[in-house]
Amino acid sequence: MSEELEGSFVDLWVSSRVEAGVSPEVVARSASEGRIGASLHRDDVRAYLALHDDRPVGFAVATTSPFSALTEAPCVTIDQLYVAPDSRKHGVARQLMTAVTVYADSRGCEQIGCNVPAPNRDANRFFARLGFSSQVVRRITTVAALRRRLGADEPRHHSLEQLLHRRRSLRARATAAAGNRLAG
């Protein structure tokens, strides 16, 4: 991708992220750090930019990898597909999907997957009309949140002092509850 087209891609990507509800500051920081350009130059990433009258109107980003870590069958995954709001319903997404299909054929892939945000009904309907079905539900959380839920942040061995304090608190609550039952 030429430097000019890469700049157009980044601008359109920024628009897509802001439309998706990501903070403009966060998006601008990602764009300025050069991560997008670096990703576009990876061997396993292919990006397509749709132009109309020399103006970027949409893009698709596809990656090639095995369908799962336990198989060797290659699969193309559409990581992102975006069409600018004023260019929707004009066949842009279908043209981008055609390019991805040609790419998958050239890589010998028998399957094409896609990542679609669950709440995006229009995108889910678009992919369903093209024959995509739900294979898995991909759920995501932060490492810190999972650690909290698993209890990994809690100390494994409590000191004697903490144990005694907890017992006293439980005893006091039990005594108070018994007193309330007798009074009631």
My answer on whether 58 and 123 are in the same domain is yes
My answer on whether 164 and 113 are in the same domain is no
* 147 within a domain of the structure (yes/no): no
My answer on whether 70 and 132 are in the same domain is yes
Q: Which residues pair with 66 in a beta bridge?
A: 74
My answer on whether 53 and 79 are in the same domain is yes
Contact predicate 40/47, CB 8 Å? yes
Residues near 182 by beta carbon (within 8 Å), at least 6 away in sequence: none
Q: What is the pTM of this model?
A: 0.70
Q: Is the pLDDT of residue 125 over 90?
A: yes
Mean local confidence (pLDDT), 174-182: 74
Q: Is the pLDDT of residue 157 over 60?
A: no
Structural tokens at position 19: 């439309």
Please give the residue that has the higher pLDDT: either 32 or 104: 104
- Rounded-to-integer distance, Cα 13 and Cα 60, Å: 10
The pLDDT tens digits of the residues spanning 56-94 come to 999 999 999 887 778 788 899 999 999 999 999 999 999
* 150 within a domain of the structure (yes/no): no
The CATH number covering residue 21 comes to 3.40.630.30
Domain that holds residue 35: 3-140
My answer on whether 167 and 88 are in the same domain is no
Contact predicate 13/32, CB 8 Å? no
- Rounded-to-integer distance, Cα 12 and Cα 55, Å: 10
Indicate the number of domains in the chain: 2
Q: Phi and psi dihedrals of 79, rounded to 5?
A: -75, -40
Contact predicate 97/60, CB 8 Å? yes
Q: What is the 3-state secondary structure (H, E, C) of the chain?
A: CCHHHHHHHHHHHHHHHHHCCCCHHHHHHHHHCCHHHHHHCCCCEEEEEEEECCEEEEEEEEEEEECCCCCCCEEEEEEEEEECHHHCCCCHHHHHHHHHHHHHHHCCCCEEEECCCCCCHHHHHHHHHCCCCCCCCCCCCCHHHHHHHHCCCCCCCCCHHHHHHHHHHHHHHHHHHHHHHHHC
